[in-house]
Structure 1
């Protein structure tokens, strides 16, 4: 296994800061400041930003200071559409490979989510809630699928930062435990249905409601007349 470099450390720190919303969408990411902090050249700092750009977390246009990405509603909807497809296949593959060791790993992760919520660390709880899906995808044995799930989950965290509404973290952990129970029962249909319901709830928190057309004068008067 390769030893992580300072450039890797810069990438991981920036990624976590973005996912935990410590760096807000639109925040400037100056190469010289990143390089000085991590003791790397501007070239390596730029490489870390490029990795984050490839994952959709950073906007880095030529000759402009890189910024934390700020996805539009249209981009957000597309990301969640892809995520639903990927996670449906994830559940199916995990059921095929299921083992008690997988249950232990997933339950330990959810315990971490609960602990973060108990100590009031909303940023860590949110990050861990997303990482549950990444851990689950890693159990499929398909590294390409795991990579794509990791990317859409990270982008989902950014979408929540831009468009999301507050929610109770214990809802997410309860939903995660429900998925684990269905996987342990080797019930692929139930696991897929629970995952779909969970992602529908995440999507509802992440995307703004579709605005309704303003009421006309006649509509308003009809409610008050008589």
Structure 2
């Protein structure tokens, strides 16, 4: 049965007959960001095939540009590229997922320790604005809430000013987002926003110990929701690319 589900999730459909409406986004970085968002928002399921020609047609670019975007996604752990089999959305095992969460928790402790008492007023406002956006998304589509929650953590890492730390936190955070599409109960947007606001308050007060404690509790809560759910039916790749290329 698992094999049958895997085959079903890998089905692809004929190429679209027309190019997307926004060719100005036709570059490897834009395609990388669009497909990453589609993966984290669960429009593209783990195991879904990502043919270069379909992506190229969907974004109005050459296969070379599509290949570069897929290479970057593979480096981020969101896509797997196998010789003679092409690219597909990654399917991390539970053991790999556990390692990713452990690494993420260690990295995010470093982030909040560095930021405590050092955020500018503008940075605090930006974090609060992001939390407000998360609140507005609550009760909307769950995948959007997951994406916004992930972006909050990426934003924190970027505020450290360390390109290395920001890069690693972004990679493990997006990979955790992918993991949640495989091993998770429904996301609690309200819980996540409240904890994000607690983190902001602790950082603004310069309380590193409290910030670390809240962050640990927050991420442990994410891990505790992990369950194995059956994969959903595959969607039309061409239609997904059309939506995310706009």
- Same fold judged by TM-score > 0.5? yes
> Which of the two has greater helix per residue?
1
- For 1:168 and 1:18, the matched residues in 2 are separated by 19
What aligned pairs does 1:1-226 form with structure 2 within 5 A after superposition? Answer: 6-118=27-139, 120-206=140-226
Q: Report SS of the residue matched to 1:29.
A: coil
Check conservation: 2:78, 2:89, Cα contact below 8 A. Answer: yes
TM-score using structure 1 length = 0.87
Equivalenced residue count is: 205
- For 2:109 and 2:226, the matched residues in 1 are separated by 19
After superposition, give the CA deviation of every residue in 1:162-181 in whole Å (9 maximum; x if it has no partner): 11111321000000001111
Deviates more, 1:151-160 or 1:96-105: 96-105
> Which residue matches 1:217?
none
Greater relative contact order (Cα < 8 A, sep 6+)? 2
- For structure 1, list consecutive stretches of 5 or more residues without a partner in the other structure: 209-226
Query: Which one has a bigger Cα radius of gyration?
Result: 1
What RMSD in Å do the two structures reach over aligned CA positions? Answer: 1.4
Check conservation: 1:7, 1:38, Cα contact below 8 A. Answer: no
Check conservation: 2:117, 2:203, Cα contact below 8 A. Answer: no
Q: Report SS of the residue matched to 2:91.
A: coil
- For 1:62 and 1:167, the matched residues in 2 are separated by 35
Q: CA deviation at 1:38?
A: 1.1
TM-score using structure 2 length = 0.80
Deviates more, 1:163-172 or 1:79-88: 163-172
- For 1:83 and 1:40, the matched residues in 2 are separated by 34
After superposition, give the CA deviation of every residue in 1:9-62 in whole Å (9 maximum; x if it has no partner): 211111100011100001110110000111211121111111000000001111
After superposition, give the CA deviation of every residue in 1:71-107 in whole Å (9 maximum; x if it has no partner): 0011001101110110000001111522221210100
Check conservation: 1:103, 1:180, Cα contact below 8 A. Answer: yes
- For structure 2, list consecutive stretches of 5 or more residues without a partner in the other structure: 1-23, 229-246
Check conservation: 2:49, 2:88, Cα contact below 8 A. Answer: yes
> Which residue matches 1:220?
none
Q: 1:125 to 1:192 in 2, by over 3 A?
A: same
